[in-house]
Each structure stands twice: as structure tokens, then as C-alpha cells.
Structure 1
Amino acid sequence: METVPERIEHTVLGPTTRWADVRHVLDEAADLGMRACIPPCYVARADDESDVPLVTVIDFPHGQGAPETAAEAARRAWEDGAGEIDLVANVGRLQAGEDDAVRAKIAEVVAAVPIPVKVIVEAPLLSEDELERIGALAADADAVYLKTATGFSEGGATVADVEALAGFRPVKASGGIGSWEEAAAMFRAGAERIGASSGAAIVREWRDAGEPSLAAVRSDGDGR
């Protein structure tokens, strides 16, 4: 059973991210027992210099690349040392009703690597029907997780989105989660992972709250 810190993916994915930023996130993740979600260009070096479990993003942040390009990028990331892939779904195609194309791209990336693939659905941009459709499509394509958002569009994770997606696959809540209180609300809604640039603050606040187990968080309304 993973501890709460092991369910936190400490994240640095901004457009100006440098190796020094990644190194800082890796050090914090190692110190606090978290995973790290970093840009693909730094995965090989991070794997060489750190034992932190690595997650990276593919077709980020808009999901508009060709399926074969995304699949090759995923293979490269896995060969470089990534243990999990976060793939952005193509929201435009989903909203245009091109469900077969959306499903096929996810399936191609899933088939390209022997590691878990999470599908970033960009929930803040989707209607309730669209959210349910992408959840079903990703499940049909054998994605292991659904992730709420990139954090680079409108809004971030919400309890309602986590609850809706959890009916299809385990959920990584991501986007705008900056405190243990907010993370605990996502866990109670059914999230299994949290993605956040504030991962270190979340874990420190979790420690201050008495280090409750996930089971305790889900059974206790205030996460303590």
C-alpha cells in the first residue's frame, strides 16, 4: 500500500523549466518520499542522478500531435527512465465527435510502452457528457489512470470532476492543488494520486496534520 507522500507527484512543467528547477524538485521528492513529474527532456539525466520515481508528460500541453509522434515520444521517455507517462488527450477532436481518433491515439501510446499511461483529459474545458466520453474512451484504450488537467488551461481539479472520472479509472487530481486540505478533499472524492507543484508543502502540511493514512482521510471529513 502506497503512503500518502508516494501518491504525490511533485511537479515542475513550466515553459521556462531549467535543470536546476528539476534538480530542486527531485531533491524535495527524495527527501519527502514523493514521485516527481518532470519534462521529458530531463528524464534521462534525472534517472542517472536520482532514485526518485519519474513521471513525464507526452504531447503536452495541448494533445494535438500525431499518434505516431506521441507513441515514439513515449517510447523514448520510457527508455530514458520514466516509470509512468501522462498523455494529453486531444480535446478539440473529442468535442468534434471524433471519438475513434481520440481512442486510437491513446491506444497507440499505451501499446508503445510497458509502463502505466495516464490520460490528461483537461476537465475544465469539458461538459459533463464530454467528461464521461473521454473517461470511457481512455478506459477502452487501456489507459491505467485519468488525470484531471494540465494546469495550463482554464481552472484545475475539482471534486466533481474527480468523482465523475473515478467511475472509469483511478484518478490523478492535478491543477491548482496547493495545500494538504485541498489534496485531502481530492482523496476523499476518490483520487488515488495528486499532481502538484506544491507537493512539498502538501506533504509537510500532511505531517503537521499527524500523517493520516489514506483510509483515515477518506473516513474523516477534515482529513486529520
Structure 2
Amino acid sequence: MEVQYAYLFRILVAGICGALIGYERKSRMKEAGIRTHLIVAIGSALMMVISKYGFQDQASWTGVGLDPSRVAAQVVSGIGFLGAGMIFMQKQTIKGLTTAAGVWATSGIGMTIGAGLYWVGLGVTLMILIAQKVLHSGFHWLATPKTEQIHIRIDDTPGVLDEIQTALKEKHIIILHFQAERNAGDMSELELELTVKLPAQCNTEQLFSIIQAIPAIKAFEVQ
């Protein structure tokens, strides 16, 4: 019974590590949060404990061969399906890759702690949290281009589309996807759907300022 309490402690520690990573993801409004990461870590630790110790009563059976790594190997494969469900395509942009990778890494942390390697599991948890914090910081040398989806409603006047494209080009904003259609409620207006790539030094507030400076634009929304 005392041995099983030790196993439960391992699973508890794994759950705490998973919850910490999930909290960081949730604070950034990502697809998988505290509950998902916590359950993944707990489940992975449980499977690792089962893989190592769940078949000890059969070790002395004649003609029975056991491979303690088989259950753990299936966890690594199975978690890939969960991660794949978090990745999706939205207007030429792939979303959810970091969250899916985080869930996959969380399962590894769970298995590590389930195997009794506490310091390794805790160390990797700390490494992931620090890496996420640093890579989401405001360091310009770490900044990378990002994409935004914009919905714009404009007056259908001559040259207005060229004016929008010129204004964006001057700020080194690249249009990745462009779709225009007439407003069904007002035939004198056009509705534009744009996917743009912003340079590393440009943020959403600066994008607002650029769009607001074009008189023909009546309404816009960053999705």
C-alpha cells in the first residue's frame, strides 16, 4: 500500500507540472489550457507507472516475457492524435502548432515523473516555462513576422483598392490573401477580407493607425 502512495505522489507531481504549463498557455488564450495539460500529464504518468510496475505479479510466470517500455511507447504515439486535433488552418495561417507541441512535451514530463525521475521532469517543466516566457517577450531580436485577418468595409470609389494596397506596402505589410465582394445591404460599398503579414516591428495598434488614415474605409475589424 505504501508503494502505491508513492506512485500516486508521482502522478500528483506530474499533474502540477502539467497545470503550470497549461496556465501559461491559458494566459495567452491558446487552444489547450490548464485542464488539458493537467489531464495529459496525469494520464501519461499513470501509463508510465502501469508500464513499469503494473505487471510485476506476472514477472515470475513461466513462459511470460515482459517489455516495460511498450505501454510508454504507445503513449508517445497516442498523444500525437490529440496534438493533431489542435492544429488548424485559418486564412493561409497555421494555428495551434506550439500548443500541440506543448501537449506532446507535457506527456513526456508526465512519463518522466511517472518513471521516478523527478528532477528531470521538474527541470524540463521549468525549461518550457522559461522558454515560453522569453520567446513571448518584447525582445526585438526575437521578434518574427506575424499574420492578421482583417475585415474592411469601404466606399466603392475609383482607386480605393490601390490606395489601401499602397498604404500597406509603404509600411512593409504584405498581403497574403485578398477577397473583395459587394455589400449585399448597400451596393455602394465593398467588403474586403485580407490576410496580411506584419513586419516584426509592427503591432496591431500600428495597423489600426494605418487603416484609420484611409478616408474611404467606413469600418474595419481585426479577426
Which interval holds the TM-score relative to the shorter structure?
A: under 0.3
Q: Given the two structures, how large is their TM-score scaled by the length of structure 1?
A: 0.20
Q: Identify which of structures 1 and 2 has the higher relative contact order when contacts are C-alpha pairs closer than 8 Å and 6+ apart.
A: 2
Larger radius of gyration: 2
